[in-house]
Amino acid sequence: MALKTDAKDARIVYVFKILKKHGIRAVRESAIHKIFYYLSKNGLSVKFDFWKDRKFSYEIRERLEKLVEKGYLKRIYFIEHLGGVYTPVYLITDKGLKFLEKKGRIAKKDAKIIEKMIGEIIKKIKSKKEKGVR
């Protein structure tokens, strides 16, 4: 049975595209949950279910798995330090970028909201790095 993609899946892939555009290729799953938590609170047309008002969604986790199976995202594992735990990170694939090329995948309003929010997040990250805050 083919796994169908919908508007929510397209928004997830689009977030990866915008992050890549800003030079962020690999993203932790926890960061994706946080991004969509704030996007949902700030006017994104599609809403995700979050667990007890926490920045975690089983729905997003399942959708990430589906997008990996379809080849739109790739999951790799890295170790932060010797003897540490493997941490999964996700990257957008060429197939994922082609998936977004189809006209009408993302509503213009949602695209603007995502781009603005990601831009603000990137500014905060860069500002913290410049100040030496982790």
Find the Cα–Cα–Cα–Cα dihedral 114, 116, 117, 120, rounded to 10°. Answer: 150
| 48 Cβ contact partners less than 8 Å away, ≥ 6 residues apart | 8, 36, 37, 40, 57, 59, 60
Tens digit of each residue's pLDDT (9 = 90 or more) over 82-104: 878 888 999 999 999 999 988 66
pLDDT band at 1 (very low <50, low <70, confident <90, very high): very low
Domain segments of the chain as ranges = 7-131
Q: How many residues does the chain have?
A: 134
Alpha-carbon distance of 114 to 43, in angstroms, equals 10
> What is the architecture, at CATH level 2, of domain 7-131?
Orthogonal Bundle (1.10)
Tens digit of each residue's pLDDT (9 = 90 or more) over 26-49: 999 999 999 999 998 888 888 888
Q: What is the DSSP letter of 29?
A: H
What 3-state DSSP class applies to 44? coil
- Residue 116 is encoded by which pair of tokens? 């603005």
pLDDT at 83: 79
pTM attached to this predicted model: 0.88
- The number of helix segments (H) and strand segments (E) in the chain equals 5, 3
Residue listed under structure tokens 């290729």: 25
Percent of the chain with pLDDT strictly greater than 70? 94
pLDDT at 103: 67
